[in-house]
Structure 1
Amino acid sequence: MAPYLLFLLHLLVFSATTTTNAAAVSISPTSSPPSAPTPSSSPISSSTLDPKQLRALQSLNIPTSKDPCTPPPHPSAAAASPPPKTTCDSAAPFRHLLSLTLSDCSDDVALSLTALESLSTLTSLTFTNCHVTPIHFPTELTSNLRSFTCINSLNKLTGVWLSRLQNLTELTVSRVSITASGPSIILSNMKFLRSVTLSQTNLSGYLPKHTWHPNLTSIDFSVNHLKGKIPISITRLENLAHLNLSSNSLNETIPTTIGDLTSLQTLSLSSNALVGPIPDSLAALPELIHLDLGSNQLNGTIPKFLRDMKNLKYLNLENNNFHGVLPFNSTFIKGLQVFKVGENSNLCYNHSSFGPKVKLGIAPCDKHGLPVSPPPAKDTDPDGSGEGSDDDDYENVEEKKHHSGPSKVVLGVAIGLSSVVFIIIFLVLLSKCCR
């Protein structure tokens, strides 16, 4: 009887265990199998980046590699959007983003305040060809950013929006419309700024008079709608190496104190409405490599000290009102990589200082130091395209003079011979008549 009872007891235990297992399986019939992890668990578990920051990137619909702190060297060309370029710190156990570059963003990339709060460790943020809608950055991110770049991105910006980035050392905005009354509203509170580029931004107004910070080494406000004169205050920036104010509506004269910028290597003031002579103080810029004053209304003679600038490689003086004799020779011009001086109608060059085939776009000088008058205008081609340079025309004048001499001699000889023959025939006929 005891063995029978034991058998029944084992049978009851087995039955209860089977029922319990069956019930456990039926609790979550739709759950994923243990071997198939959720999509977000895999990248987080395999990344050295702070999981909170990784989720922030994913929430912005930004494609991430296996580990954003070590991006793949060859991203897949078939991806809808390239992975972001990133750098991270060396914290443990998880690293944090220090720089983030978003380029060629897809349409589903969008900024959110929550995600940007998680990315507040960023010190550098770059948008390139990323047309997303800008939002107000969290205070901590705004405070930490040292470099901000926006190229053909963020659709539209305002000066007030940019002015909040007060701790920047580098600011670059290009091919983006900025709504602002002038650069001052953007720069006035940026006390640590070293480099600023606001190019092709439709920026209007006047250049700042008193908001330049002494740490600035590079200023680029090219291709905007800035007007007025170049303020003297800009010439007090002792560390300034690059100044580009080209393609604006600046007028009046170049400041005579421009020579105080002793660290200047690049000076581009082309395509404005500047008048007056080239300041003599430019001679005090020994480091100058690039000088572009083209397409203004500058006048006077071209100073001789330019040929003594040993580091000069780019010189553009074309399309101005300079007059007199060009103070350069072929040795100086050959030492330049770019030289433009054409379209100065009252400027001429000494032919003895250059080869016969020189092409400068200005006339040679006569014995009085004045431009040789150009020949009469030629009839244009049927298609309306006239080719050739002014120098070609002046050479043609000399060639015509050269060829016109022999033609007159030949004509004189022919007339003389004809006269002799006529006299001989006349004498022969006269002698026959006399007989």
Structure 2
Amino acid sequence: MTPPAPSLFILLLLLLFPVIITSATLPPSPTPSPTSSPSHSSPSSSPSSPSPSSSSSSLDPKQLRALQSLNIPTSKDPCSHNATLCDSSKPFRHIISLRLSNCSSYVALSYTALKSLSTLQSLQLLNCPVTPIRFPPELIASLRSFTCVKSLHKVSGVWLSRLENLTDLTVSDVQVKTSGPYVILGRMNKLRSLTVSRANLTGNLPKYIHSNLTHIDFSGNQLKGSIPASITMLDGLEFLNLSSNALHGEIPASMGNLISLKNLSLASNSFSGPIPGSISAIPGLVHMDLSSNQLNGTIPSFISHMRNLKYLNLANNNLRGVMPFNSSFIKKLTVLKLSGNSNLCYNHTVLSSKTKLGIAPCDKYGMPMSPPPAKESSADDSSDYSDSDEDDNSRKKEHHHGPNKVVLGVAIALSSIVFLIIFLILCSKCCR
């Protein structure tokens, strides 16, 4: 005898009810976040060069042909191209700034083209390994800024020295053949910004440098000798980077004469002796990197009174004694690196052991209590702290809870089904 229809309907509801309740309690499956609308990345959202008015004059025909020889598009107004900048002269406009980047192998600088471009005040070569040629006198007279990065096949110091009217010279990742920087700088009396980095530059720093310079970068070369007095007399110098060379001797006490200096990097050389106290006379110093040298003595306490200092790297030297910085000074810094100084320690009654400095605490004699901790990543040596690891762990935990709830819900549903099947079997037997 089969159970009546109403009984079957009630039993069916009882069968489905736990499944519905379980499904409702399960977390919704993650949906992919919507991608940004194409309109957000449309070219119209980026700034573009203003189109020339109908009344503006056209480009000098000679310069137009010169651009074509350099494989620069000229189908539209060449002066609206992002590689060029033109003046507003009439009847023809002239190019005053030109940038050649990622040049193809068949692009070549020709003397004729450069002579036609003798109105250039700025020339940039970025990743253009073309053969260097002699610049026309007209271009040399006009040029004020020259940038060469990963470009030209080996240039000589004499070739660069001919650009005597420059105020800005940048040569980086290019082999420069010369007996010393003085060959380059001999006639550049108007130069204000100088960068010759990673250029295999040899010799000594020049004994005479023109006083107009505000930026000097000789990093990543093979320069030797000591820092000459000529550099420490540049009271308008704001940036000095002599890192990664073979310089030696003591850091001169006259370094304090650089009263305009904001960035000082002497890292990865062989400087010895103490950190000169004259550095305290530099009021606006923001960045100081003296790491990876052979500096000895104690860390001067005056450093903690340098109000504008944000980056301080004294790692990998022979500094000793008690580090003189308190917690308020350390928190003010963006980066502090002290590791690699085996005889340097900190006062554990002043600083918490949770402060990651890369050095050991001091004993009562001012000596490290234990060997300094193994050198870790730069993040451990800095005064920056990040909650990213905690956030990642919390996200992992949240993600881990999702599958557990699903498994639990399925188990409850299956148990309910089995229970109801047994219940139906028993009911059918009772109704016979």
User: Counterpart of 2:255 in 1: which secondary structure?
Assistant: helix
| Deviation of the 1:357 alpha carbon | 1.4
Match of 1:312 among 309, 313, 326: 309
Match of 1:38 in 2: none
Contact 1:101–1:127 under 8 Å retained in 2: yes
Residue of structure 1 in register with 2:145 after alignment: 147
Q: 1:124 to 1:389 in 2, by over 3 A?
A: closer
Residues 329/65 of structure 1: CA separation in 2 closer, same or farther (3 Å cut): farther
TM-score for the superposition, normalised by structure 2: 0.73
Name stretches of at least 5 consecutive residues in structure 1 with no aligned partner: 1-45, 72-83, 379-384, 392-435
* Structure 1 pair 64–130 and aligned structure 2 pair: CA distance change class (3 A): farther
2:273 maps to: 276
Specify the SS of the correspondent of 1:352: coil
Q: Does 1:63 align with 2:70?
A: no
Q: Which runs of 5+ in 2 are unaligned?
A: 1-55, 382-432
Residue equivalent to 2:397: none
3-state SS in 1 of match to 2:79 = coil
Structure-1 residue corresponding to 2:263: 266
Q: Is the Cα–Cα contact under 8 Å of residues 319 and 343 in structure 2 kept in the other structure? A: yes
Give 2:344's aligned residue: 347
**Root-mean-square deviation (CA), in Å?**
2.2
Is contact 1:362-1:390 (8 Å) kept? no
Structure ID, larger Rg: 1
Q: 1:65 Cα shift?
A: 5.0
| Counterpart position of 1:48 | 58
How does 1:101-140 map onto structure 2 within 5 Å?
101-140=99-138
How far apart in 1 are the matches of 2:352 and 2:228?
42
**Gap change, CA 1:318 and 1:127, over 3 Å in 2:** same
Given that 2:57 and 2:89 are in contact with CA atoms closer than 8 Å, whether structure 1 keeps it comes out as no
Which residue of the partner structure matches residue 330 of structure 2?
A: 333
1:321 to 318, 322, 336: 318
Question: What is the distance in 1 between the residues matched to 2:141 and 2:342?
Answer: 55
Q: Where does 1:63-102 land on structure 2 (aligned, <5 Å)?
A: 63-71=73-81, 85-102=83-100
Q: What is the aligned partner in structure 2 of residue 358 from structure 1?
A: 355
Whole-angstrom distance in 1 between the partners of 2:90 and 2:134? 30
Aligned partner of 2:65: which letter? R
Percent identity, aligned pairs only? 64
The question of whether the paired residues in 2 share the 8 Å contact of 1:47 and 1:68 is answered with: no
Counterpart of 1:347 in 2: which secondary structure?
strand
1:13-52: CA deviations, max 9, x gaps?
Answer: xxxxxxxxxxxxxxxxxxxxxxxxxxxxxxxxx9821111
CA distance in 1, matches of 2:116, 2:142: 13
**In 2, distance between residues paired with 1:388 and 1:85?**
38
- TM (norm. structure 1) is 0.72
2:301 is the alignment partner of 1:291? no
Question: Superposed, which structure 2 residues align to 1:18-29 within 5 Å?
Answer: none
2:280 partner SS: helix
Greater relative contact order (CA < 8 Å, ≥ 6 in sequence):
2
Q: How many residues align?
A: 326
Identify if the C-alpha distance between structure 1 residues 168 and 303 changes in structure 2 by more than 3 Å, giving closer, same or farther. same
- Write the letter of the residue equivalent to 1:255: P
1:287 alignment partner, SS class: coil
Displacement of 1:386: 9.9
Q: Distance in 2 between matches of 1:186 and 1:57?
A: 29
| Structure 1 runs of 4+ with >6 Å offset | 385-391
